[in-house]
């Protein structure tokens, strides 16, 4: 089901990319719902010793994956509030810089010759994106103890991501609503030029 939502080619517009993200997240959540009863049934067949061994295997796997990955110092410090006493300020500045890179408001407003209403909607889009990034970058607590609890946590994370995508998509739809076809094309052209 998840593989079936993979597009044959990259969606051309931002609205299409947001739609694809929404579709893929929805399918992943449904897959979790399909998988959960089978996992619960399997766990129900295990005795306490077997459950302990299963949890041990999961811990070993996570440790092996963590050891095999290089530690990104920026990511590590973002998840460790003790690493910098100005943690919240620093993180906020990083988000704001990232949003400005993703949504170059000055370039967009000038290139598209936006009126005041469109500029205000662009600001709402930027603010929504910033809040979304803050929500999605929340560092995980300790992993849940059981496979069923980890599955529940993963589903909750996917649901949070879906809500975030929906929020950004709604703000984007509002921004794009009154743009002319020429402005929409100009907006789409800004992204590839910046990424080149």
**Helix segments in 4-144, DSSP class H:** 14-45, 48-68, 73-78, 87-102, 105-112, 116-136
Short-list 155, 172, 167, CA closest to 25: 155
CA-CA distance, 148 to 145, in Å (whole number)?
9
Range of the domain at 151: 3-195
- Mean pLDDT across 47-67: 84
Q: pLDDT per residue over 69-128, tens digit each?
A: 645 444 444 444 444 445 456 655 665 666 556 667 777 888 889 999 999 999 898 888
Q: pLDDT per residue over 85-102, tens digit each?
A: 454 566 556 656 665 566
Q: pLDDT per residue over 3-51, tens digit each?
A: 887 888 888 888 898 999 999 999 999 999 998 999 999 989 999 999 8
pTM: 0.72
Residue 172, exposed/middle/buried by CB under 10 A (0-12, 13-18, 19+)?
buried
Contact status, residue 7 vs residue 133, Cβ threshold 8 Å: no
Number of domains in the chain: 1
Give the pLDDT score at 72.
46
């Amino acid at each position: 089901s998840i593989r079936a939502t993979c597009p044959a080619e990259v969606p051309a517009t931002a609205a299409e990319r947001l739609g694809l993200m929404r579709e893929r997240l929805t399918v992943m959540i449904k897959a979790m719902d399909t998988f959960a009863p089978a996992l619960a049934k399997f766990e129900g067949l295990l005795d306490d010793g077997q459950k302990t061994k299963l949890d041990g295997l999961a811990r070993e796997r996570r440790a092996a994956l963590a050891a095999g990955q290089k530690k990104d110092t920026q990511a590590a410090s973002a998840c460790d509030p003790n690493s910098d006493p100005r943690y919240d300020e620093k993180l906020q500045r990083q988000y704001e810089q990232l949003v400005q890179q993703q949504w170059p408001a000055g370039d967009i407003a000038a290139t598209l010759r936006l009126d005041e209403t469109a500029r205000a909607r662009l600001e709402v889009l930027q603010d929504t994106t910033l809040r979304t990034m803050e929500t999605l970058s929340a560092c995980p607590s300790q992993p849940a103890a059981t496979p069923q609890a980890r599955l529940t946590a993963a589903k909750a994370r996917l649901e949070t991501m879906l809500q975030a995508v929906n929020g950004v998509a709604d703000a984007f739809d509002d921004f794009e609503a009154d743009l002319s076809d020429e402005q929409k094309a100009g907006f789409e052209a800004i992204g590839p030029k910046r990424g080149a």
